């Protein structure tokens, strides 16, 4: 992969860059694994105790993140139970709203989230998962639509799970173009689970379904539907879904249950069709970033970077047993370019540093954090973003110090480094906009009939 126009590479102390004005708009995005709050309780002898403590680390993290002056901030390893205390209240005062991951199975720590400037973006759709946040935003001033994902893929040698997460992410984005909006079905539209934007003067906080209510030091917000469904499975008996089937009174149980299930499916399909969300317009922009826990030869990275992968690309000797589903080709996104391609081929470039292993000289350093984006318009319906600048994660002197000592340390509060990039937006597709206007006009005429009185009536 080659860059026709190389981006400006900034030293950490020269960020944000001084760039000429953008013709069609500009966004700055940053991603950062902040290292979990309770890192200090782990056995990390290679880091001094004073550098493991949370309060000084939090102060340094806030200062670092704020210095990026980013429009979109993707964080990993945040803890939902203390989210407001750690980052939420602080960035709310700076004008950010946020979307956080789903506390699946009661696990409310080490979660990704996305901060976005409330005066710059409005949410069109989001899908909160356990390790990935999928978010669709509209840029208020220009009307551009942006699909974005903050990822924290499984670590260690779990290639299969990591690949499954990447494949699921692409599939979700691909099906989004004509998919029913899961956040629009059967919910109060005044409250969105996992989202907070105080522009309405309302606070929405997530609470782990595993914690008991009533004695929590932080207030409970609206939980995700999935969390509510699973919260009491261990303590309650599972209810027979056919127990309330009225057809059982008039015919044998087997036939009644079969008809009841068919009727239920038809009802769900009807509701889904009536509540079908607005399709993602042609020219959508896409960014996938975060802690992939994957090197560049990992199947997860290969799939996202190329937009496709074949069964024969899975080396069982290297990656273990091949998953049942490997082959995939993204019909909508196509290949995603690596924003740091101009420097991440440099020998020794890294974004994560582990501890010093016993009997081993030096430290483990890996390139596992990325910012991927849509660049080539010819490969997909997505418009290209023009990369204008990237921020070097560290100075030459800092890299030399990292080679001798562990991190966090006195100048860096995490075991990962921040990545930040500036993108110029493309010109709006006028033809696509006209098509969208025609579609909206047709929808408006369709809703003037008697069938539009109640979209949920069927």
- Which CATH number goes with the domain that contains 51? 3.60.10.10
- The pLDDT score that the predictor gives to residue 70 is 98
Q: How many helices (DSSP H) and strands (DSSP E) are in the chain?
A: 11, 18
Residues near 46 by Cβ (< 8 Å), separated by ≥ 6?
Answer: 355, 356, 363, 405, 406
Give the separation between CA 189 and CA 78, rounded to whole angstroms: 26
| pLDDT at res. 233 | 34
Examine residue 198 and state whether it is found in any structural domain, yes or no.
Answer: yes
**Cα angle for residues 135, 370, 114 (degrees, 5° grid):** 30
Contact predicate 297/140, CB 8 Å: no
Residue 411 lies in a domain: yes
Query: CA–CA separation, 345 vs 288, rounded Å?
Result: 20
Q: How far apart are CA 119 and CA 142, in angstroms?
A: 12
Q: Which residues contact 287 (CB under 8 A, 6 or more apart)?
A: 29, 72, 146, 147, 148, 149, 371, 372, 373, 374, 385, 423
Beta-sheet strand order (sheet of 111-117)? 8-10, 386-391, 419-424, 26-33, 72-78, 111-117, 96-100, 195-196
- The DSSP bridge partners found for residue 370 are 290
HSE-CB of 247 using CA atoms within 13 angstroms: 14
| Side-chain half-sphere exposure of 73, counting CA atoms within 13 A | 27
Assign 3-class secondary structure to 329-370. Answer: ECCCCCCEEECCCCCCCCCCCCCEECCCCCCCCCCCEECCEE
Q: Determine the 3-state secondary structure of 45 from DSSP.
A: coil
Instruction: Provide the residue range defining the domain that includes 329.
Output: 8-204+281-427
- Domains held by the chain: number: 1
Domain contains 375: yes
pLDDT of amino acid 149: 95
The answer to whether position 421 is within a domain reads yes
CA 272, 275, 281, 285 dihedral sign is: negative
Is 334 a member of any domain? yes
- Residue 262 forms part of a structural domain: no
What pLDDT is attached to residue 247?
Answer: 59
| Opening angle at CA 13, ends 12 and 18, nearest 5 | 95
Helix (H, G, I), strand (E, B) or coil at 187: coil
From first to last of its 458 residues, the chain has per-residue pLDDT tens of 444 578 999 999 999 999 999 999 999 999 999 998 876 656 677 788 888 889 999 999 999 999 999 999 999 999 888 899 999 999 999 999 999 887 776 667 788 999 999 999 999 998 888 889 999 999 999 999 999 999 999 987 889 999 999 999 998 888 886 543 333 332 333 334 456 554 433 344 444 433 444 333 333 333 333 333 333 334 444 455 556 666 566 666 666 666 666 656 554 444 344 334 445 555 688 999 999 999 999 999 999 999 889 998 999 999 998 988 898 888 777 789 999 998 987 778 999 998 655 445 567 889 999 999 987 644 455 678 999 999 999 999 999 888 877 789 999 999 999 999 999 999 876 545 555 555 555 554 444 333 333 323 32
- Whether 13 is in a domain gets the answer yes
pTM for this entry: 0.73
Task: Judge whether 296 lies within some domain.
Answer: yes
The single residue listed with the structure tokens 């009939």 is 449
Q: With b meaning 16 or more CB within 10 Å and e meaning fewer, what string describes 374-384?
A: bbeeebbbbbb
């Amino acid at each position: 992969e080659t860059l026709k126009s190389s981006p400006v590479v900034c030293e950490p102390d020269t960020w944000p860059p001084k760039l000429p004005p953008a013709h069609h708009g500009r966004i700055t995005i940053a991603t950062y694994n902040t290292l979990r709050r309770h890192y200090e309780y782990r056995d990390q002898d290679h880091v001094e105790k004073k550098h493991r403590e949370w309060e000084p680390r939090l102060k340094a993290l806030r200062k670092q993140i704020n210095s990026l002056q980013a429009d979109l901030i993707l964080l990993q390893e945040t803890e939902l139970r203390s989210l407001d205390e750690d980052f939420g209240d602080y960035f709310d005062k700076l004008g950010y709203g946020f979307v956080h991951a789903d506390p699946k199975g009661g696990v409310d720590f080490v979660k990704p989230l996305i901060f976005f400037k409330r005066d710059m973006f409005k949410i069109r759709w989001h899908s909160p998962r356990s390790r990935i946040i999928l978010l669709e935003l509209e840029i208020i001033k220009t009307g551009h639509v942006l699909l974005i994902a903050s990822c924290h893929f499984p670590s260690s040698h779990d290639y299969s799970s990591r690949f499954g997460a990447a494949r699921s992410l692409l599939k979700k984005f691909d099906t989004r173009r004509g998919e029913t909006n899961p956040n629009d079905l059967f919910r109060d539209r005044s409250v969105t689970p996992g989202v907070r934007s105080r522009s309405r003067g309302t606070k929405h906080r997530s609470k782990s379904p595993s914690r008991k209510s009533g004695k929590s030091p932080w207030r409970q917000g609206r939980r995700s539907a999935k969390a509510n469904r699973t919260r009491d499975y261990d303590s309650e008996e599972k209810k027979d879904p056919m127990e309330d089937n009225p057809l059982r009174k008039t015919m044998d149980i087997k036939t009644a249950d079969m008809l009841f299930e068919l009727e239920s499916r038809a009802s769900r399909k009807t509701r889904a069709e009536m509540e079908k969300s607005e399709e993602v317009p042609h020219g959508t922009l896409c960014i996938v970033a975060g802690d992939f826990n994957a090197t560049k030869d990992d199947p997860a990275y290969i799939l996202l970077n190329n937009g496709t992968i074949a069964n024969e690309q899975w080396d069982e000797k290297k990656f273990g047993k091949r998953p049942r589903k490997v082959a995939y080709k993204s019909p909508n996104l196509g290949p995603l370019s690596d924003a740091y391609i101009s420097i991440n081929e440099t020998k020794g470039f890294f974004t994560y540093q582990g501890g010093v292993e016993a009997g081993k000289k030096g430290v483990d350093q890996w390139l596992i954090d990325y910012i991927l984006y849509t660049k080539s318009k010819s490969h997909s319906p997505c418009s290209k973003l023009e990369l204008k600048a990237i921020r070097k994660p560290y100075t030459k002197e800092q890299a030399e110090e990292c080679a001798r000592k562990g991190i966090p340390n006195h100048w860096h509060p995490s075991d990962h480094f921040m990545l930040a990039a500036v993108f110029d937006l493309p010109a709006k597709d006028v033809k696509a906009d006209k098509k969208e206007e025609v579609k909206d006009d047709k929808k408006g005429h369709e809703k003037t009939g008697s069938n539009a009185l109640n979209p949920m009536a069927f």
